[in-house]
Structure 1
Amino acid sequence: MPLPPELTLVAKRQEGLVTAMQCRESGLSSGRASRLVDRGLWRSLSPRVFDTAPAPMSARHPDHRRRRAAMFGALEFGPDAIVVGGPALALHGVLGLPPTIQPQIALPGGRRVYSRHHVRARMFDDGMDVIEVEGFTLATVEWALTQLVPETSREVAIACMDSARNLGLLTSGALRRSHARARGRRGVARTHPWWELSDQRAQSPLETRARLDCVDHGIPPDSLQVPVRDAGGVERLGDLGWILDDGSWLIVEIDSNEFHTGAAAIAQDMARHNAITATAQTVLHVRAGDVYTVGKVSGLVRETLAARNNRRGDR
């Protein structure tokens, strides 16, 4: 017997999750829900929430895992729940979070609530602004960063700042306000220099990590999203760029399918890489795994710059 159509739509909208209340409202009895769980077709995540498409977490795309975690927290605590911190950023579409995040919620009015079923319940931040996205109430990006940054790593924090700004979800003024609100929170002291390192031109967390590695090793890029023209006169954008003495560029291109889920997007990215490589610029192709190795990208850049300088000196 097929599921009620309205429940199927709800599950699709909620990354496969439905609540016991949503089941009852669609006409699906608690007995039938229990039988679906017993047969392994569904999984009970808590007495209140079911997973209608159970699969190993390792088999799920990271974006799905993050969104699912964020939605589970809200569904577990009911319609008054406000998704906060990293999970709120995930539902806003901000990139840069770890593949696995802990659900986090707060309840309005300062109501005290205790964590349960791996959902972290936070105290409501006085004056917090919220917004509705996809039927869920979320902290705004500005407030979610205030909550996240003092509790996460430098790379994750700056990648999220970069992504939020690149997507047009956060202005420079909002970033400053977010930083100001974070002052006084536990763990914030170490983060003060991070806020100044955000760059809205970064188009992926991998670009952010590569840039930070170069900054940390004393060779920050001269520009991001460097415009170069290919043989056909089409303007292409290189990820990171260092201008050379002869006026050409050393371009670092980061090769990764992590943020491209479709064949068309992958093909488009490959065409861009090839077109930039075919220009008169010097191009370094960096694998995604290299970006996570401290000193790898900066080392490649430093070696290439040194080799170019040596060649000029031999002329």
Structure 2
Amino acid sequence: MASMRTFAQLPDALTWTAEAQEGLLSAHQCDLHGVGSSRRSRLVQAGRWRAVTRGVVDTIPTDPFRRTAEDVPVRPALPLVVRDSAAARARSRAARAAAHRPRSDTDRLFDHLRRRAAWIGLLAHGPGAIAVGTSALALHGVEGLAWPAIPEVALDRAGRRPHRPGVRLRQFDDGMTVVGFGDPRTAEARVATMGWALAQAVPEQPPARGLALLDSALQLGLVDARGLEVAHDQARGRRGVASRHVLWEVADARAQSPLESFGRWQCIEAGVPPDVLQLPVSGRDGSLLGLGDMAWRQTSGRTLVVEMDGRDWHESSTDGGRRDRDRDNAFAAVPGVDVLRFDVRHVRDGVVGRRVRTFLRR
């Protein structure tokens, strides 16, 4: 009977580096720790690792499209944990705080997948690569990004460098500023600053998603109103931005989730933009019952409140769904308040704005 092949344990330092980089390693990192090309090939052939693109391997064997929260590394490098200067560390403080906020298993999984795409681009092109566009936003911790995501990096004279399959090389923007990214476990990495990343990404996104990115950057404190104006100026002249100027005007830090941003954009397109976001609703005794995601004050004196349900929250917590139903009932009991509730299915079907408009014209 043939003996089963055994594999020597990987160096701890290499394992820690992979965990920091969403499970990924570059060939150079492997070589530095004594894991040469022959050993990497054997690990891939045995199904222990996955080949990603030239010079990059994934130490998580599960196909990315089949992963669950159990496959997500426990201690990845946090969004924008910088190591180059005190000023850069101060800029990253909001991102680190956002990274430590409670996240559902679904959110953790998709955060991992989006950051993984960013790391693929950085590792494939080495120390000269800069994460830009959506890849930079993923590493900053911005929510609302699409997946699957295409890795995006910029290089000096990128057109003369060999392309890596599955990685988008972008032209280096004149004047673009960057910050350091990573922690002591990772390769040296650079990321476009928030303003430049938004300027690069938003003009290329569908309007609803572009609004979600701007809302998220504001809501998480990764950019302020002045920074958003600068990013808008940096976006001018780019392909697609002419039809996106309104997004910069209506972006709002009060939006609590990408789903709210998607629903709000449908209302704006339908000609019924909300009057208020996060409206405090009080009971008969004056006590605060909760905040309505979006609200419209009607000429009749009544107020329409729209609530947006995040699907993954209710799938993972029956208590969360019950609390929201109780709040709906409490809202509806307030004189002069009407409540409409939408979830991800309504957003996908594009009906939020039409139904709000129909209700308001009723």
- Of 288, 291, 298, which residue of structure 1 is paired with 2:347? 291
Q: Which residues of 2 match residues 102-121 of structure 1 at below 5 A?
A: 102-108=150-156, 112-121=160-169
Letter in structure 2 aligned against 1:81? A
- Of 210, 213, 226, which residue of structure 1 is paired with 2:279? 226
Residue equivalent to 1:274? 326
Unaligned runs of 5+ in 2: 1-7, 68-108, 184-188
Residue equivalent to 2:53? 46
- Of 8, 11, 34, which residue of structure 2 is paired with 1:4? 11
Any idea what SS the aligned residue of 1:105 has?
A: strand
Residue equivalent to 2:65? 58
- Of 265, 273, 298, which residue of structure 2 is paired with 1:212? 265
- CA distance in 2 between counterparts of 1:13 and 1:288 reads 31
Any idea what SS the aligned residue of 2:128 has?
A: coil
Residue equivalent to 1:83? 131
State the shift of 1:14 in Å. 1.0
Give the TM-score taking structure 1 as reference length: 0.87
- CA distance in 2 between counterparts of 1:203 and 1:78 reads 36
Given the alignment of the two structures, is residue 93 of structure 1 paired with residue 141 of structure 2, yes or no? yes
Residue equivalent to 1:302? 357
Residue equivalent to 2:204? 151
Cα distance change, pair 14–245 in 1 and its aligned pair in 2 (3 A): same
Aligned residues: 304
Give the TM-score taking structure 2 as reference length: 0.76
Q: Which residues of 2 match residues 254-273 of structure 1 at below 5 A?
A: 254-258=308-312, 260=313, 263=316, 267-268=319-320, 270-273=322-325
- CA distance in 1 between counterparts of 2:60 and 2:122 reads 18
Any idea what SS the aligned residue of 1:146 has?
A: helix
State the shift of 1:102 in Å. 1.0
Measured against aligned partners, the alpha-carbon deviations of 1:13-48 in whole angstroms (never above 9, x if no partner) come to: 111111122222233343322211110111111331
Q: Is the 8 A contact 1:63 1:99 kept in 2?
A: no
Q: Is the 8 A contact 2:177 2:196 kept in 1?
A: yes
Cα distance change, pair 306–180 in 1 and its aligned pair in 2 (3 A): closer
98-107 or 193-202: bigger deviation: 193-202
Cα distance change, pair 276–218 in 1 and its aligned pair in 2 (3 A): same
Cα distance change, pair 236–2 in 1 and its aligned pair in 2 (3 A): farther
Given the alignment of the two structures, is residue 241 of structure 1 paired with residue 288 of structure 2, yes or no? no
- CA distance in 1 between counterparts of 2:158 and 2:208 reads 31
Any idea what SS the aligned residue of 2:339 has?
A: strand
State the shift of 1:69 in Å. 0.6
87-96 or 23-32: bigger deviation: 23-32
Any idea what SS the aligned residue of 2:353 has?
A: helix
Q: CA RMSD in A?
A: 2.5
Any idea what SS the aligned residue of 2:161 has?
A: coil
Q: Is the 8 A contact 1:179 1:195 kept in 2?
A: yes
4-13 or 157-166: bigger deviation: 4-13
Cα distance change, pair 20–201 in 1 and its aligned pair in 2 (3 A): same
Cα distance change, pair 198–103 in 1 and its aligned pair in 2 (3 A): same
Cα distance change, pair 288–230 in 1 and its aligned pair in 2 (3 A): farther
Q: Is the 8 A contact 2:53 2:166 kept in 1?
A: no
Any idea what SS the aligned residue of 1:102 has?
A: coil
Q: Is the 8 A contact 2:55 2:124 kept in 1?
A: yes
- CA distance in 2 between counterparts of 1:173 and 1:210 reads 26
State the shift of 1:59 in Å. 2.3
- CA distance in 2 between counterparts of 1:262 and 1:73 reads 33
State the shift of 1:244 in Å. 4.2
